[in-house]
Amino acid sequence: MVAGGDVSMKIDELPRRSSLLPGNPSCQGCPHAIGLKALSVLENPVLIIPAGCTTIIAGIHPKAAFNVPVLHVPFASAAAVASGLAASYRKEGVEASIVVWMGDGAADIGFATLSGAAVRNEDIIVVVSDNEAYMNTGIQSSSTTSWKARTTTSPGGKSEEKKDLAAIMLMHRIPYAATASVGYLPDFINKLKRASEIDGFRFIHLHSPCPPGWRFDSSKTVEIARLAVKTGAWILWEYSGRFRITSPSKPYKDGSKRVPLEEYIKTQGRFKGLSEEDVEEIKSKIEEQWKFLLAFEEIFR
Amino acid sequence: MKHSEYLIAKPSKGSAGQTGLWRSFRPVYHVERCIRCLLCCFYCPEDVIEVHYHRFILFHYEYCKGCGICASICPEDAIEMVEEEE
Amino acid sequence: MRTLLTGNYAVAEAVKLSRARVIAAYPITPQTTIVEKLAEMVEKKEIDAEFIRVESEHSALAAVYGSAVAGLRSFTATSSHGLLYMYEMVWWVANARVPLVMAVVTRTIGPPWNIHTDHTDLLTMRDSGWIISMAENVQEAFDLTVQGFRISEEAGLPFTVGMDAFQLSHTAEVVDLPSQQDVDAWLPERRQPYRIEPEDPVTVGCIGPNEYTAKLRCNMAREMEKAKELVNRVDEEFGKSFGRRYGGLVEEYRLEDADYAVVMTGAWSGDAKDAIDMLRKEKLRVGMLRLRYFRPFPQKELRKLLEEKEVLVVDRDFSMGHMGILGIEVSSAIGDITNVIAGIGGVDVGVDDFKMMFRKFADKKLRKIEWWPEEMFL
Ligand SMILES: Cc1ncc(C[n+]2csc(CCOP(=O)(O)OP(=O)(O)O)c2C)c(N)n1
Ligand code: SF4
Ligand code: SF4
Ligand code: SF4
Ligand SMILES: [Mg+2]
């Protein structure tokens, strides 16, 4: 068994080989590269990739880094291109899992596109691999950058809130929405598998700590992703008809079980110099988020 | 060359070259400590840790970037990051 | 079958008869009724296609890019602000060498808000790698749409059919609609440079050495060049099957013996032809070269057909800081011309205007660049 938090999996259930081949251009310790490994549980995947780090990761002509079909598309267009592809495959009876793999930045600029595709309940899976900034262009703030995190466009710390993209997508009344983390691959894989058994628009918001972007050592990607969950700062949940907090996050419903937030914050250069009051404020924001999601659990039983 | 060939790339390892050369530290395996949980293999971003006989592991150094995730995730300290010599 | 149709409905019929399988579009006046009609046809199952109700024009072209790259004949349509909104995709689709057809119902660009025709929107596409055509009447809009699928798929380049707001889009004319059987016989199976299919693990469009971009552009340029012959051949073959030929890249109207040649494009060419007929009766030898295509651009035809004639280019658009866009284009091929800028924002320009304009031109009373009518711009 492979343990990943509380979720365990039989080794034989694990994807054997990533669809992303070794020797690709991702940085050392890249969270996208870890997350992309999970996609190999999907049958007949076709990947749609808008501008972002994964554009680079996907290889340099004539060598492609993916061993599945990949279509590169403009930054804001991914969910729409996927919709067209889905329409064609449906017409022709082609079996495929169309996966949009995009960054948080692509979800910003392509928000209307994403929303439109969700409203149409297009038969696609969208994974937003959220490293909480525009990394490919050099660490600029996005809607999902954490409050107070330093980026090159928020050198003194971001002054706005982190947008709860997954909850917004859920409110589109799509059949499947979830959050996941590169620190808990078995949980992410389980979610992808469940999503793949459902028709229609499926959305997964994947938390992806990025070593150069958040300023931590490349060996710590998984550890920091887990700390985000253990401190309650990133909450894993799933909706597929009913809403539930999923295993790795379950123990932290009880605030007293959470690891102190400082443990998470101090690992990252982007939070350097946060005042005690700031940390307290982040804690209260986290508390609010828990209340909100636990209320969801009540509502969507 | 047909124009579509300028647009179409085929799967190939090493699309960024021999990324093993990026390494400053090399993961070294202490097989005697390994409990064969395969966490290292599972989380290696580069997918260069192979599951070998009896679930012992094998590193493919040609492309291992030396990120150190395998060493940091190993519950038994069976992987050690050792500085590469020039 | 002869029937009364507006330009927009004629294009919708052409899309249906061409058996497009995926249609995506976003409403904007004056294009809207094309997609409304197609949505209705899809719903009534008169056409075996998917209609994707996208949330923007950027997504409209993105969606048909996806469907076309997956291998199906695809169509979209837009106008003006919609075209500008999808501009990023316009270039992407061309560089990706994806065959598809888009109708652009030409409309001016705001502010001020104005839904009427000029050609500025369509001409913003000219450097992008689309084959760009422009219809004079409803029949031609229909014919160009059907031909567009064939040309696009053979050249591996996207194709746009331009037609003027209201004068064509919403004006009913009698058109000859061919039977499904005849169109099927004429239009070959779709072909395209490549497809994205689940079982074929290729990556399309990844970064690479700069020379790949350069080679791709050069290749596109050559393909565009070859498309000149293709356009002419398709016009001829269409003529053989359906009895209508237009002359390929350009149409000549009373040009051969003309001393004065007018170069223009679009719906108002019909009125200008009437003016030419009248002036001919007054012994003024005027003729017309009508541009049916902007891209590929017919330099060779212009040089040959306009040799030793006084040339007036009438533009319904303007390149700020320079002159009319057709004016620039035509002078790049033949040198000195006179350029009239008229009909911007849908300002009416009728037969009498053209008569007066051409007369003034012959009398050398026009400026090099003349905004028409003069008194409007005093
Ligand atoms: C229309 C457009 N605007 C801007 C860019 C430049 N750009 C490329 S990637 C990127 C940021 C990507 O951020 P994200 O989606 O979060 O992906 P990441 O690089 O973080 O993985 C930007 C701004 C672009 N390619 N297209
Ligand atoms: S910047 Fe971050 S997300 Fe981008 S390739 Fe590097 S590690 Fe991966
Ligand atoms: S993580 Fe450590 S103990 Fe587990 S298989 Fe790898 S080396 Fe062995
Ligand atoms: S150092 Fe990084 S790339 Fe190398 S084997 Fe370990 S996890 Fe994989
Ligand atoms: Mg990002």
Segment B2-30 shows an average pLDDT of: 93
Residue bearing tokens 């070998």: B52
**Closest approach of A159 to chain C, Cα-based (Å):** 30
pLDDT value, residue B17? 97
pLDDT above 80 for B2? no
Q: Compute the distance between CA of residue C21 and CA of residue B12 in angstroms, rounded to an integer.
A: 34
**pLDDT: which is higher, A147 or B53:** A147
Give the pLDDT score at A5: 43
Among C21, C50, C207, the residue with its CB nearest the CB of A60 is C207
pLDDT, tens digit (0-9, with 9 covering 90-100), for C152-183: 999 999 999 999 999 999 999 999 999 999 99
Subunits adjacent to chain C (3 or more Cβ pairs under 8 Å): A, B
Distance CA C203, CA C205 (A): 7
Name the β-bridge partners of C315.
Answer: C341
- Mean pLDDT, chain C, rounded, equals 97
The mean pLDDT value of chain A amounts to 95
What is the CATH number that goes with domain B11-83? 3.30.70.20
For residue A111, pLDDT beyond 50: yes
The chain B residue lying nearest C203, using CA atoms, is B9
Whether the per-residue pLDDT at C277 is higher than 90: the answer is yes
Q: How much is the pTM?
A: 0.96
Residue A204 has pLDDT above 80, yes or no: yes
Confidence band, pLDDT 50/70/90 cuts, at residue A7:
very low
- Structural domains of chain C in order of their starting residue, each with its CATH number: 2-242 (3.40.50.970), 250-377 (3.40.50.920)
What residues line ligand 2, using a CB cutoff of 6 Å?
A 26-27, 30-32, 53, 57, 131, 135, 210-213
Mean pLDDT across the stretch A146-164?
A: 97
User: Which pLDDT does position B5 carry in this prediction?
Assistant: 80
For chain A, domain boundaries? 23-299
pLDDT at A127: 98
With tokens 């060598």, the residue in question is A63
Contacts of C53 in chain A (CB under 8 A): 120
With cut-offs at 50, 70 and 90, classify the pLDDT of residue A278: very high
The ligand placed nearest to the CA atom of residue A110 is 1
Question: Helix, strand, or coil here: C149?
Answer: helix
Q: How far apart are CA A188 and CA A205, in angstroms?
A: 10
Q: For A23-299, CATH number?
A: 3.40.50.970
Report the alpha-carbon distance of residue B72 to residue B79 in Å, rounded. 8
Which positions in chain A touch C199 (Cβ < 8 Å)?
44
Nearest-angstrom CA–CA distance, A244 and A275: 34
Give mean pLDDT, residues C105-130: 98
- This model of the complex carries an ipTM of 0.96
Segment A76-82 shows an average pLDDT of 98
| Interval A214-250: pLDDT, tens | 999 999 999 999 999 999 999 999 999 999 999 999 9
Interval between CA C10 and ligand 3 midpoint (Å):
68
Q: Please name which of A79, A229, A73 lies closest in space to residue C56, comparing C-alpha atoms.
A: A79
For residue B65, pLDDT beyond 70 = yes
CB-nearest partner of B38 from A11, A17, A25: A11
Q: What percent of chain A has pLDDT over 90?
A: 94
Q: Tally A–B CB contacts below 8 A.
A: 122
pLDDT at residue A17 greater than cutoff 80:
no
Is pLDDT above 80 for B3? no
**Cα A186 to the center of its chain, rounded Å:** 14
User: Phi, psi (5° rounding) for residue B36?
Assistant: 60, 40
Q: Give the pLDDT confidence score for residue A16 in this predicted structure.
A: 59
Model confidence at B86, pLDDT cuts 50, 70, 90, reads confident
Residues whose CB falls within 8 Å of the CB of residue C304, separated by 6 or more in sequence, listed in order? none
Query: Are the beta carbons of A64 and B10 closer than 8 angstroms?
Result: yes
State whether residue C1 is helix, strand or coil. Answer: coil
**Chain B touched by C201 (CB under 8 Å):** yes
For range A268-289, the mean pLDDT: 97
Window 59-88 of A: residues touching B by CB (8 A cutoff) are 59-67
The answer to whether residues A102 and A128 touch, using CB atoms and an 8 Å cutoff, is yes
One DSSP character per residue, A94-145 reads ---EEEEEEEHHHHHHTHHHHHHHHHTT-S-EEEEEE-SSBTTTTSB--TTS
Structure-token pair, residue C256: 């051969």
Neighbours of A292 (CB within 10 A): 12
Q: Is residue A158's pLDDT more than 70?
A: yes
Which of chain C's residues have a Cβ under 8 Å away from the Cβ of A88?
Answer: 21-22, 50, 66-68, 70-72
- Cβ of C204 within 8 Å of Cβ of B11? The answer is no
Residue range C67-83: mean pLDDT, rounded: 98
pLDDT of residue B43: 97
Max Cα–Cα distance, chain B, nearest Å: 54
